[in-house]
Amino acid sequence: MLELQNLEVAYGSIKALHGISLKVPEKSIVTLIGANGAGKSTTLRAISGLLKARGGSVKYDGEDITNAAPHKIVAKGLCHVPEGRMIFANLTVEENLRMGAYLRKDSAGIKTDTEYCFHIFPRLKERRTQAAGTMSGGEQQMLAIARALMGRPRCLMLDEPSLGIAPILVRAIFDQIVAINKERGLTILLVEQNANLALKISSYGYVLETGCVLLEDTAESLQKNPEVRAAYLGD
């Protein structure tokens, strides 16, 4: 569903991605792991059109979307939940969800999807009229994912969903990421510092280092790899 070929991105004269190639099969969960500054978030931002590629290509569902406008990429069903959540703090939970559906005209479908979001994240239903900025980090992360789901994506990119969140809520969020993948057949590309947790729910993984793919393998094999265990899994 998603394929990068020799993707290059630079910030001014500084190269951030040095020809990254990866594949995300339809209905799979694929994870990118690596240290801070490895290029994980840059990769997602380049896919979603927020950063311009200097070289290489991004293909989504067989179509070249390299450097397409972000709103056009969203309209094709590729949604990005950014690092730091970026919810609309002054809007209520319900208003944030409506913003996620801004490209849609099907009011009945929007209502159904809102109820689905409240079903998978009951805390959001409890806080539907609350200003989003007054919620905890974990609740805001739930809202960021739910807001993306309101766009009816076929492929969802999640950037650091566990960052700054209480462990009990991290588990709940990851359980729902798996549920969304299974129930809706949603393809997921996950960037996550908690490599252990990310690999447990993924089928395949890529290890990034200084803007390059250092290693790729099934998630199960990466979990057993001594180098990966020593560098990213705390062994």
Q: Measured on CA atoms in the order 145, 187, 39, 235, is the torsion positive or negative? A: positive
For 198, residues 6+ apart whose C-beta sits below 8 A from its C-beta are 31, 33, 190, 192, 205
Whole-angstrom Cα distance, residue 77 to residue 160? 20
Residue 117 in this model has a pLDDT that exceeds 90? yes
Which residue would you say has higher pLDDT here, 171 or 50? 50
What does the pLDDT look like over 10-57, one tens digit per residue?
999 999 999 999 999 999 999 999 988 899 999 999 999 999 999 999
Residue 210 maps to which CATH number? Answer: 3.40.50.300
Q: 76 near 61, Cβ under 8 Å?
A: yes
Whole-angstrom Cα distance, residue 101 to residue 35? 34
How many domains in the chain?
1
For the chain, percent of residues with pLDDT exceeding 70: 99
The average pLDDT across 50-78 equals 95
For 44, residues 6+ apart whose C-beta sits below 8 A from its C-beta are 80, 82, 157, 159, 189, 191
Residue 120 in this model has a pLDDT that exceeds 70? yes
Residue 129 in this model has a pLDDT that exceeds 80? yes
Residue 73 in this model has a pLDDT that exceeds 70? yes
The structure's pTM equals 0.93
Domain containing residue 147:
2-232
Q: What is the largest CA-CA distance in the chain?
A: 51
The reported pLDDT for the residue numbered 235 is: 57
The reported pLDDT for the residue numbered 147 is: 96
Mean residue pLDDT across the chain = 93
Among the ranges given (43-57, 162-176, 201-215), the one the predictor scored with the smallest mean pLDDT: 162-176
Which residue would you say has higher pLDDT here, 110 or 166? 110
